[in-house]
């Protein structure tokens, strides 16, 4: 009739399992490729913005100093050293 023996059924089951796990393995490889491609194409992480400070010129020497932490420039006529 059909000629199905235990050996042929085991061979068929082994072939089905090999094909099944082969597809699973190929799917994992494709997922890794997609993840690597997405990591390559994504922009690098941005750093937090740097806080800017206002600068004002020294009336004596003309060099710029921060407006909130003004220190003397070393000259005797410096307005910030008083």
For residue 66, list its beta bridge partners.
55
Residue 57 contacts residue 67 (beta carbons within 8 Å):
no
DSSP SS3 for 65? strand
pLDDT in tens, the chain (82 residues): 567 899 999 999 999 999 999 999 999 999 999 999 988 888 877 888 878 888 888 777 777 877 777 777 777 777 766 5
**What residue spans define the domains of the chain?**
1-44, 51-82
Q: What is the model's pTM? A: 0.45
């Amino acid at each position: 009739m059909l000629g199905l023996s235990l050996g042929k059924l085991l061979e068929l089951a082994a072939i089905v399992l090999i094909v099944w796990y082969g597809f699973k393995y190929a799917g994992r490889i494709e997922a890794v490729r997609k993840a690597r491609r997405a990591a390559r194409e994504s922009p690098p992480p941005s750093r937090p913005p740097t806080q800017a400070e206002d600068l004002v010129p020294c009336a004596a020497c003309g060099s710029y100093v921060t407006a909130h932490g003004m220190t003397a420039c070393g000259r005797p006529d410096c307005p910030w050293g008083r």
